[in-house]
Structures are given as structure tokens and as C-alpha cells.
Structure 1
Amino acid sequence: MPIYQSPIKDMQFVLHEVLRVSEDDCPGYADLDRDMTGAILEEAGRVAAEVLLPLNAVGDREGCRLENGVVRTPTGFQDAMRAMREGGWTSIDCDPEHGGQGLPYVMHTAAQEAFVSANMAFNMYQGLTHGAYSAIRSHGTEAQKATYLPRLATHEWSGTMNLTEPHAGTDLGIMRTRATPNGDGSYAITGQKIFISSGEHDLTENIIHLVLARIPGGPDGTKGVSLFIVPKFLVNEDGSLGARNGVACGKLEDKMGIHGNATCVMNYDGATGFLLGEEHKGMRAMFTMMNEARLGVAMQGMAQAEIAYQNALGYARERLQGRDLTGAKNPGGLADPIIVHPDVRRSLMEQKSFCEGARAFTYWGATLIDRAHRTGDQDAEALISLLTPVLKGFLTDKGFEMTVAAQQLYGGHGYIEEWGMSQFVRDARIAMIYEGANGIQALDLVGRKLASDGGRPVMAFFDMIKGFIKAHEGDADLKAGVLDPLKAASKDLQAAAMFFMQAAGKAPNDALAGATDFMHMMGHVCLGYMWARMAVAAKASLSEGAGDRAFYEAKLATARYHAARQLPATGMHLARITSGAAPVMALEAASF
């Protein structure tokens, strides 16, 4: 069975030496000292390794079963969910008035990393519930908050989001699900939604569906879409469960991965729903849930790469094959461990530099969300809005690539199910598709986010990197090995952005054809910035005589690797972008 050990030392390094959370003036951050965060992360790591990891292969092998309208989850999932509830893991950052612990979102994010690595399919049940909690907290009436939030926080009830229909995925403006007023303030919801994660299961006593639908007479397109709370069981005034609502799972999808999570076709037949937020403003309310979900999916890309890397590293240290050309490293054995070979080292360094850089990027994104929500900081809100498609798109594209790289190190054994690497690859693949396919993330970045607020957020991003480089370029070693490559990559990104600005009016396809390249280019720059910050922190700790010199020296070596071997990819992406749309659009549709 695959192994997993939560990378607590690295998590603590990012939280306390890179982000310096306990020194931040964001409300709640002063309490996040090393002892507190260490205790939380240690226990989360224990739960991940002892409770969730043993069920990962079980969920993959057994999957979910639809029996007489009820979905049965895999063996052990109910007990595991009970342990998660009793441990308070479903409500780390939920409001204390709802039974939560009120900790910052960054601690929710860090704890969730361990859970996602250990069992991604299982963790989706509570991840979607957290999103439903956030949407109702932000847009619900006081009565709706009182009814739903306490039980969503404790995961007595779970939540979903229902967007996609058989004919309408990304283009939600053409959805057909309708919401007819009942005359008493409620609505009758009729239609079908597909690909609904956690849509039906036996882990909670009620499921609270958030459903996008059209109220008759509303505007066309997404401007006419509203959001509704549709419980599986209606809730009585005293909070007890009432009659079964008119919503049912019609089918379970047979999927490539995440078998332990129930992906459902949901049929709404006059189900009673309650408007969440304003009429025809459903997309705004739903995006509260979707933006949080996209950061969560970004973490799925990183977290699956992390567990795959841990196992590949262990295998590379033990698997004997061939001899080191510079001299045998295991002279008493028939061969050397494959970790001695340069191409294996290259693969492991790619995986290591991605996982650690992506962790810092994800936690940084979580601190921006905290600052935006806890202080009302509009600059933080603008920056995380800009970075969200990069986090989701780049980290899931590269995360999947890293799981494949880890599988590759096993050779033929990586293709055999008993080693577990296949599951990491299959589970990671969905993260590139759901919560907005990555091509859509790229289009959102280029088509909307770059021009947002007159381009001020992206200019602030460039200024932030420029200021960081200037502040630290007095260190000759860092300048040559880390900062100069980051400066060159940032200039490539600025050149691409300028190309898009010039093309926007006269040749919009030039920008659209380069959208994915730009998203990846910006992802490389973001990870380069994270590695530069980690290198500065590592050097500071070494100069202060920190105990674990090997840890910090490894950080510096990995930062230099990333700068030398990964950041130059921005030049390739810039060349593709500036070639414009002509090579992409040269063939007529019939010629493919």
C-alpha cells in the first residue's frame, strides 16, 4: 500500500518563515504561533495517515453503489466521516456561532492538504459542504443562516453545487432548469443536473443542494440565472427533518478516478427550493462557492503530486537497477538504486520543486483570501481574483504531470494497480476538468482578469515582484542563481501581456490562441516568486544558525534548480504567444 507522511516541517516553514503568519496584522493571525499550528498539523497528519489513507484504495476499488435511490459509500467511509466530525476538522475556519473554531482560512487550507493527499475522493464530501456553508453565510437571510449553517459547519448535513446540465457545461446561460414561484415564497425546481459531486450518499442525514435555475420571465443568458437552496429533506421550523423533497439521484457516473466520491445525475421534479440571494443574481452567489472551490481544486493538484512524489522517492531509493557511471554506489549489491541516475534525479527534482513551490503558492493564496475577508482589503481581493485561474489551471495541469512523472519512475510497476500510482494519476486528472476546465481558466485570465479595473491588479503584481527583486538583489548569490532568472521570466510575462493589449481590439484571436500559454507562463512566474521568497527565508535561517542546516541548504539547491530548469519555460511560452493565432487557425474545420 502507498505511504504518506504529512510534510509538516515544510508546511511550518511556509507558514512561519515565508509567510510569517503570526507577525501578520490580519485578525486571528497573531494566535498562529508555531506551537499552535504545529499541534493542528501534527494531528491532521495523523488522521490523514491512520484514518483516511487506508481507505483510499478501498474507495477506489469498491466505488459507490446506487441502491433503491440511496448511494452507499465505500466500506469505512461512514466511520471516517464520524471521526472527522468529532475531531472538528469540518469546521476549522467556520464561525464559532455556528459551532466552528473560527481559525483563519489558511489553517483550513493547510490541514486540508494532508486530507486531500491521503484520500481525495473522501475529502470531496466535506470540501463541497464547506463551499455551501460559505455561499449561504455570504448571501443567505438570517433565517437561512440559522437553519443551515450550524449543521453544515459540523457536517451533520452536507452540501453540493448544481450547475452543469447535459447540454450546458461552461455556457450556463443556456441552462433549462426552471424555478416556478409557488406563491408562498418558495419555488418549484424542475430540471436535471449532471456531474454533481457528493449529490447523494449515506454520510449525513441531510444534503443541502445549491441549484442554479431560471425564474420564468427573467433575462436571457447568465443575467437571468438565480440560485436556490434545495434540501434533500425539507426542514421544519424547529430544525427537525420533514418530508423528502422532490430531488433524487437518477444515476451514478462510471468514472476514470475519484471512485469513492458519488458523482450523480440529479433529477429535480418540482422540488421545493428557496431563493439564495437576489433574483437573477445567482451567478454572483454561486461564484462565492466556485472561487473557494477553485483554490481547493488547485490544492488537489498539488496534494496528489505530493503523495505521488513521496512514494516515487521511496521507490527510487530502494529499486536497484544499473550502475552509476561515475562509480558504483552500492558495490556490495548487484546494482545501484535508481536515485543515482541523473534522469531520475531530474524527475525527482521537478516533482520536489513543484510540490514545495505549489504549497507556498496555495498557502499564499489562502492568506490573500483571509486578508480580503477579514479586513476588507480590496487590493488583496483584486490580487486573489487575478491569481485564482492561475492557481486552479496551472497547479492542476502541472500536478497531473507530476503524478505521471512519479508513476514513470516505477517503470512497469507503476502501471500495476497494486502499487497505487495509477490511482494518483487517475484521481488527479479530474482536477484539470471540474470547477471550470483549464482552458476556460486561461480564457478567464486573459479575457477578463488582465483587463479588470483598468489592468491595475496585474500591474500591482508586476510591481510586487519587481520590488521584491530590488529589495534582495544585493545578495550576489541569490541575484545570480534565483532573482535574475525570475526577473527575466517576469519580463517575458510583461511582454506577453503587452502583446495581448495590442491585439485585443484588432485581432482578439491572437490573445485567445495564447491564453493557455499565458496561464502557464504566469504560473511559472508565481512559482518562481515563491521560490525566491523561500530562498530568502532559507538564507536568513542559515545566517541565524538554524539547527537543521540540511533542510535549508536543500531549499536553496531546489530554488536554484527551479530557476535554472523551470523558469526558462517562459521564453517558450512567449514565442508561442507572439506567433499569434495564424498557426492555430490555419486549417479550416473540415481539414482536421
Structure 2
Amino acid sequence: MSKNIYKIDLREFKFLIEDQFYQTRELFDHPLYQDCSPEILHEILLRAKNFAYQVLGPGFQQADEQGCQLKAGSIQLPESFPEMWKRFKQEWTDVTSVSGERRSTLPPFILQMVLEMFMGSNPSFMAYGGFCLPSSTLLDRYGSEIQKALFRDRLAASEWTACLCLTEPQAGSDVSLVETRARRQTDGTYLLTGEKYLISAGMHDLADNIIYFVLGRGEQSGSGTYGLSCFIVPKYWVDEGGTLGGFNHVECISIAEKMGFKGCANTHLTFGAQGPCRGYLLGERENVGLLQFLTLMNQARISTGVYALGMASSAYYNALSYASKRLQGKRFDQSFSPTADRVNIIEHADVQRMLLEMKSKVEGCRALIAKLTLSESLINTFEGRDDKEMERVHHQGLVDLLTPVVKAYISDQAWRICELAIQTCGGRGYLRDMGLEQYARDIKVLAIWEGTNYIQSQDLIRDKLGLGNTSKLFNIYKIEIDRFIDTAGDYPQLLAEFNCLKDSLGHFETVLKVVHDWVKSKEMLKIPAYSTRILHMMGDITLAWLLLEAACVSSCKLCKRDKDKEFFNSKIIIAKFFIRNELPRTQYYLNVIQDRNSFCELEFSDWSSLLSELE
């Protein structure tokens, strides 16, 4: 097996848990998370790091080199994966459980830290069990009692794995084009016919069974998204007693050759082509499949951000390590001195610029995921409490608003971080043995899958921000930032940064007014031309907010003690760097969006004339 190149600093997680997000104290007082003491959490995170370094990480590059092969209908995975899966099941049977007695569970706030390490150290491998927990949650919410009994616990414990099956050759982002059909039988089950395309981890022999959650149409269902239903289709049929039966005629006819994620088999599956393929309707109602799938899709979008962060973070740490050891060149102010010593490249200003951009984005994105998952965790503690309804609505609003930002903004920034990591390491960064080029190739798909980043930006501006009109979700977001900005007087040394944050939030509010004016003047087609930049504006503002919050916490720590002085100083430095170097983009985006001539839409005939030159 190859060497491990994955790197992580657990001190970053400790800071989020104990310092920046003080609400965790309330969280860990709740019976749901009663075993989550700082000592136990440290042990869990350390154990996860060791598993990432010793078990998952060494197979990362090997999986890329070996890829997946389709032979006689079966898929041959990278050779390390079967043993890796065995170790994963033995040591992380239920990744959400704090102890074997299941008295307490890990809150999403902590779980995402564990998953960041696992997904960052071997993303292709983690794709095979990636839908186990979300699909168990889906069954818990919508499944019948028999469906829960048959599938939920086995999926939660990764005894079986799950696959999300939406895409078809003619139906990618536009699921209204799905053609898979399901015919109801007298016993209440369904016979499915159709095909699904580019299904991640769609066929393997790691587990005894794979449970496919398939988007399709009943016999009486119409076209469009309202005629879609969700069907539970086991690879091997499961009788009502839970016993595995015969092969259910889910077959793989090809696997994709692709740029990255080569250890993950992206499969072309057929259902019922060579024999009867049976399935259950999820729950008891047809034509609500897309609504049900939102549970899975939203969690998958958050996980996409975690995948991206895990790899980008390791790319940054590898670049930092290399820059601190690579002796090359002299200091700029001593360039012409024949006696000047060579220095490590970390002493060159432009290398420092790249490292600061990477560090600020990695730590800002990690805080963004922590912010979202802390709200998820708090929501869990409010269940059944009428006195907490307003708080539940507030935190659910944050989760809904930030989910598309986590998915799209983090995956876009991860690509940029990998580019900078390669550039920092120069020629070595471009070579395969260092692994940075693999991070870049693996990361690129994250901007595409689970709904392209452009689709996320449409979701944000249309469904979450109300096309610039009064948005309850934006009001929740603004309340949080305004409350933080109101504390600026407590931190006079950071007053300039607070003012920059306030100005950028104002830029964003102005953009929302521009969008609303377009709606009123019937110029809505302008909105999608700028929606990606609007999402990036919100991402930049959110990172600036959370990095500045971390800087405030760190400045207080520096006043109280000398321990970890360099660590806390670095939090202040990167907040200032990001706000002075990255946040000014909000002014640029505002200028572009307000310029009525900044985007010139071409008619199809114009494109046709341009394309004719290529013939």
C-alpha cells in the first residue's frame, strides 16, 4: 500500500468546539449528547485521525492508480478496499454512536469533523458508504414500519450500503425527464424497468446487499417532477422476515472513465432488463418522490462541502509542509547580494500570500460547516419543546439558507485551494507522487454532482432569498451578522475589519434590491447570469464573519494567557488577510451587477454563427 499523504491538525477542531462556538456547552448538556465530554470527543477525533492516517490514507493514491474494472457484470475495486471496508465496519460500526451502549449520539457538529478526516483521506472509498446514514434517516422519516424494520438499522450500521439513483442518460440536472417506470403488483410491491446513469458506488461486493433508492414513475403518473416517486430496490430481495433472497436483476452494464474519483465506480445500471426487478414504494404515497428525496439531497450537498474541505485542507497542509522545507532563492531585498543565504520558500512574500489565502479559506470553510451543523445539532435538542419553537425556526432557517452555500462555495474554493497548493510546490506539486494533482482532479467533480453549483446558486437566489424580495431566511442571517457587528466596540483593534464586513453586507443587500427591481421590471432573465456571483458574495461575507469571530475569540485568549500564542495570533492574521484581500470582491460584484451592460446575452442564432466557424 502507498504512503499516507493526508494531513490534519486536530487543534483546529478543538478551537471550534471549545472556543469559537460556545453554544456547544448547551448542546452537550442535553441527554441526546450526554456522553460528549471534551475528553471523550478528543479521544474520538484522535481515533478518527489515526484511522485516516493508518487505514484510509495509504490507499488514496493506490485507488486512483488501480481504478475500477467491470468484468462479467461484476466490478473489481482497488485491492485495498475490501480490507479497508472490513476495518471500517469493525472500528466504526456506527459512526454516530459515542459508546457501544448507544446511550448517546454524536451531534452533526462533531460528526462532520470525523467525516472530514475520512472523506479527505480517501474520498473514493467513503463514497461506498456515504449514503448509509442519510438513507437511514430517509427511511425513519418516510418509510413504513416494515421498511424501517427491513432496512433502517442495517443501513445505519453500514451492514448494507445505499445508492441514490436519480440520473439517467437523458435526465441529468433536469429530473423531470426521468423515464424509469414502476408497475404496482397485487402484493403491493412494484416491478421496475429503466436505467440509471453515473451512479456513484452503484455496484460492488463490499456488503451483502445494496439498497437502491430509485426515482421513477408509477403507471398512472404524469410527466414532470410531480409524477415522480421514490422506490426502494434491493440488489438481493429481502423477504418480510429480513432474510436475503434471490438476485433482483439490478445490473451494471458499464462504468465511466473519468478525470478523478477513480476508485469510485460510477455505474450505468439497468433495472429489470434481464428479469423481474422488484421494489417497495417509499412510504404509502406515489408522486411525492422528489419531496422525499430532498432529505437525502440536502444532506448529500452538505457532505459535498465536507468532501471538498477534507481534500483542500490536506492540500494546504502539504503545501505548507513543503514550503517550510524547500530551500530556494534569496530574500527579495537581498537578491543581488552574492553572500546572502538561500531561504526556504515560505519566506518569499508571494508564497506567503498563497499560503494565507489557502489557510483563510480552509479555516473559514470549516467554520461555515461548523456553523451549519451546530444549528442541525441544536434543532435535534428542541424536538417536542414548544418553548423552543422560535429557536428551532431560526436554526432551521440557517441550515436551509447555508446548505447551497456549503455545497457550491466550498467546492469552488477547494478547487482554487488545490491550484494554489500546486503552484506553491512548483514542479513537485505538478508530479503525481506528491498527490496534489489528484486532490485537484478528485475535487473538480464536487462542483458538478448533487446538483451543479449553478443550480445551487439558482436555489439560493430564488428559493432561499426570494428573488430579492423580503426573505425570512435572509432576515435570520442578517440578524446574526448584525448582532455580531454590534460587538465591534469590544474589539477596537479589529474595528477596521468590522467596518469592512458591515460595508460588504450592505453591498449584498443592495444586490438583492437590484434583483428585486429586475423582477418588477420583467427582466428576470438577468438573474441567472449573476446568480453564481451572488452566491459567491454570500460565501465571502459568511467566511469574513466567521473568521472575524474567530479573531475576536483569539484576541480575548491572548489577553488571558500566553499558551498557544502563535495559534491565536494566526487566527487574527488570517481574518485580516481575508477581509482585506478577498472580501473586497463584494464591491466588484456589486459594480458588475449594477452595470446594465456588463452581460450581453446572445440569441441562439448568434451562437450558431459563431459555431459555424468551427465546422
Q: Name 1:60's counterpart in structure 2.
A: 64
Measure, in 2, the Cα distance between the counterparts of 1:180 and 1:121.
35
Q: Deviations over 1:479-517 (max 9, x none)?
A: 12x211111111111111111112123210222211001
SS at 1:351 equivalent:
helix
Residue 24 (str. 1) matches residue 26 (str. 2): yes
Q: Work out the percentage of aligned pairs sharing the same amino acid.
A: 31
Shift of 1:5: 3.1
Write out aligned runs for 1:163-174 (5 A).
163-174=166-177
Aligned mate of 1:70, from 68, 74, 88: 74
Q: Name 2:17's counterpart in structure 1.
A: 15
Q: Is the 8 A contact 1:2 1:311 kept in 2?
A: no
Write out aligned runs for 1:420-459 (5 A).
420-451=435-466, 454-459=470-475
Q: What amino acid does structure 1 have at the position aligned with 2:73?
A: G
SS at 1:326 equivalent:
helix
Q: Name 1:419's counterpart in structure 2.
A: 434
Q: What amino acid does structure 2 have at the position aligned with 1:57?
A: Q
Q: What amino acid does structure 2 have at the position aligned with 1:91?
A: V
Q: Name 1:84's counterpart in structure 2.
A: 88
TM-score (structure 2 length as normaliser): 0.92
Unaligned ranges ≥5, structure 1 = none
Residue 555 (str. 1) matches residue 566 (str. 2): no
Shift of 1:219: 3.4
Q: What amino acid does structure 2 have at the position aligned with 1:206?
A: N
Residue 350 (str. 1) matches residue 357 (str. 2): yes
Q: For residues 576 and 259 of structure 1, do their structure 2 counterparts lie closer, same or farther at Cα, with a shift above 3 Å needed? A: same
Q: Is the 8 A contact 1:91 1:100 kept in 2?
A: no
Q: What amino acid does structure 1 have at the position aligned with 2:547?
A: W
Shift of 1:442: 0.6
Measure, in 2, the Cα distance between the counterparts of 1:581 and 1:10.
44
Q: Is the 8 A contact 2:138 2:296 kept in 1?
A: yes
Write out aligned runs for 1:490-501 (5 A).
490-501=505-516
Q: Name 2:418's counterpart in structure 1.
A: 403
Measure, in 2, the Cα distance between the counterparts of 1:310 and 1:70.
38
Q: For residues 315 and 95 of structure 1, do their structure 2 counterparts lie closer, same or farther at Cα, with a shift above 3 Å needed? A: closer
Q: Name 1:306's counterpart in structure 2.
A: 313
Measure, in 2, the Cα distance between the counterparts of 1:95 and 1:548.
31
Write out aligned runs for 1:302-341 (5 A).
302-327=309-334, 335-341=342-348
Measure, in 2, the Cα distance between the counterparts of 1:159 and 1:106.
23
Farther-moved stretch of structure 1 (517-526 vs 302-311)? 302-311
Write out aligned runs for 1:362-381 (5 A).
362-376=369-383, 377-381=392-396
Q: Deviations over 1:257-307 (max 9, x none)?
A: 011111111111141110113210001111100100100001122111111
Shift of 1:410: 2.1
Q: What amino acid does structure 2 have at the position aligned with 1:431?
A: L
Measure, in 2, the Cα distance between the counterparts of 1:546 and 1:293.
41
Aligned mate of 1:483, from 498, 501, 507: 498
Measure, in 1, the Cα distance between the counterparts of 2:339 and 2:87.
47
Q: Name 1:460's counterpart in structure 2.
A: 476
Unaligned ranges ≥5, structure 2 = 384-391, 611-615
Q: For residues 503 and 31 of structure 1, do their structure 2 counterparts lie closer, same or farther at Cα, with a shift above 3 Å needed? A: farther
Measure, in 2, the Cα distance between the counterparts of 1:95 and 1:511.
49
Q: For residues 21 and 43 of structure 1, do their structure 2 counterparts lie closer, same or farther at Cα, with a shift above 3 Å needed? A: farther
Q: Name 1:520's counterpart in structure 2.
A: 536
SS at 2:259 equivalent:
coil
Measure, in 2, the Cα distance between the counterparts of 1:591 and 1:409.
42
Q: Name 1:281's counterpart in structure 2.
A: 288
Aligned residue pairs total 590
Q: For residues 89 and 546 of structure 1, do their structure 2 counterparts lie closer, same or farther at Cα, with a shift above 3 Å needed? A: farther
Farther-moved stretch of structure 1 (42-51 vs 445-454)? 445-454
SS at 1:217 equivalent:
coil
Shift of 1:373: 3.9
Measure, in 1, the Cα distance between the counterparts of 2:99 and 2:200.
25
Aligned mate of 1:236, from 233, 236, 239: 239
SS at 2:407 equivalent:
helix
SS at 2:231 equivalent:
strand
Shift of 1:421: 1.3
Alignment root-mean-square deviation, CA:
2.3
Farther-moved stretch of structure 1 (285-294 vs 443-452)? 443-452
Residue 574 (str. 1) matches residue 590 (str. 2): yes
Measure, in 1, the Cα distance between the counterparts of 2:22 and 2:423.
37
Measure, in 1, the Cα distance between the counterparts of 2:15 and 2:177.
47
SS at 1:248 equivalent:
strand
SS at 2:487 equivalent:
helix
Q: What amino acid does structure 2 have at the position aligned with 1:153?
A: A
TM-score (structure 1 length as normaliser): 0.95
Write out aligned runs for 1:528-539 (5 A).
528-539=544-555
Q: What amino acid does structure 2 have at the position aligned with 1:420?
A: G
Residue 589 (str. 1) matches residue 607 (str. 2): yes
Shift of 1:4: 2.7
Q: Is the 8 A contact 2:33 2:104 kept in 1?
A: no
SS at 1:344 equivalent:
helix
